[in-house]
């Protein structure tokens, strides 16, 4: 929610969960629109779905389902202290996973720069690396539209690096995420933008 509440002229994409849907009728046009309460790890906020967008999106909006909202702010709210975010599109994460727009990223750990690794992210053993490969191969997809597996790490100088595999493509399914998180811990396995 840190991106909300500050006017911007740029389109914004938010990964959120809708926690409440409040449908209303416009006094001017008589058309139905909605106010959605949305949450992420940083808090909650209310967003607006105008009648035209609500007509197209209303049946797709469900509570407690992770979604990607895209939208913007109205120019007339430029000088308002807490501008209203206007939703233009909504896509459930499960659809993004199926279309390859969301990829799986594995964090291999962080070097402290003095020859040892940070205790919060211990070194992965060769056995663990083999286990990772086995899980990835078990959930691999031959579908060219599936995004490649992404590997992230921090080198000894503190530089963050990431690499997308040329050969390993993994479905961003709940089963794949669960297997990788069981092996590596939840903090090492994330979903990232696939394209």
CA distance 13 to 72: 9
Tell me: pLDDT of 75 over 60. yes
Of 61, 62, 82, 86, the closest CA to residue 73 belongs to 86
Mean pLDDT of 46-71: 91
In this predicted structure, what is the pLDDT of residue 172?
Answer: 74
pLDDT, average across residues 53-60: 92
Q: What is the pLDDT of residues 145-182, one digit of tens each?
A: 667 788 888 777 778 788 888 777 787 777 888 888 88
Return the closest-CA partner of residue 6 out of 97, 110, 105, 85.
Answer: 85
Please indicate, yes or no, whether the overall pTM of this predicted structure exceeds 0.95.
no
Q: What are the sequence ranges of the domains in the chain?
A: 12-92, 99-193
| Segment 2-18 mean pLDDT | 80
122 pLDDT above the threshold of 80: no
Fold for the domain defined by 12-92: OB fold (Dihydrolipoamide Acetyltransferase, E2P) (2.40.50)
Q: What is the mean pLDDT of residues 61-65?
A: 88
In contact, 22 and 49? CB cutoff 8 Å: no
């Amino acid at each position: 929610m840190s991106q909300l509440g500050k006017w911007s002229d740029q389109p914004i994409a938010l990964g959120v969960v809708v926690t409440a849907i409040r449908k209303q009728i416009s006094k001017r046009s008589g058309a139905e629109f909605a106010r959605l309460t949305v949450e992420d790890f940083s808090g909650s906020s209310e967003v607006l779905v105008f009648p035209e967008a609500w007509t197209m999106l209303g049946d797709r909006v469900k509570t407690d389902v992770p979604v990607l909202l895209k939208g913007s702010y109205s120019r007339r709210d430029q000088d308002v202290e807490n501008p209203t975010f206007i939703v233009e599109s909504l896509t459930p994460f499960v659809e993004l996973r199926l279309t390859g727009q969301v990829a799986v990223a594995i964090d291999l750990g962080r070097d402290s720069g003095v020859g040892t690794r940070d205790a919060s992210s211990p070194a992965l053993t060769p056995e663990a690396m083999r286990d990772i490969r086995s899980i990835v191969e078990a959930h691999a997809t031959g579908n060219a539209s599936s995004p490649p597996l992404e590997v992230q790490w921090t080198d000894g100088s503190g530089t963050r690096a990431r690499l997308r595999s040329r050969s390993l493509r993994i479905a961003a399914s709940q089963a794949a995420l669960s297997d990788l998180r069981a092996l590596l811990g939840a903090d090492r396995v994330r979903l990232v933008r696939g394209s």
